[in-house]
Amino acid sequence: MAFDWHSDAITPSTRVDDRYKNTQNVRRFMIEQCGADFRFDRDFMAWIRNGASKTMSDVVDEWQRRNLTR
């Protein structure tokens, strides 16, 4: 059964698959993990969907790397 990005529970170990969507569910998870300053941007969204194997923990780490080191 395919993961439903709209309603399934997202955890740090959730694998990003080829059906990944930037949903409100994902946004809630990212705000919980990264804080209220979390925002999607085009480069970051492209990185998420680049086909490389990753988990949502990797996504959180990458957002923090891009945004907390400025």
The dihedral region occupied by 41, where left means phi > 0, alpha psi between -120 and 50, and beta the remainder, is beta
**Domain assignment of residue 9, yes or no:** no
Q: Contact, 38 vs 66, CB < 8 A?
A: no
Residue 64 burial (CB count, 10 A): 14
Domain span holding position 39 = 24-67
**4 in a structural domain:** no
pTM (2 decimals)?
0.92
The verdict on residue 33 lying in a domain is: yes
- Are 6 and 25 in contact by the 8 Å Cβ rule? The answer is yes
Distance of CA 5 to the CA centre of its chain: 10
Any domain includes 10: no
Q: Quick check: is 29 in a domain?
A: yes
In the chain, the number of structural domains is 1
Residue 24, pLDDT score: 97
Mean pLDDT per 10-residue segment, the chain (70 residues) = 94 96 97 96 96 97 88
In a domain, 47, yes or no: yes
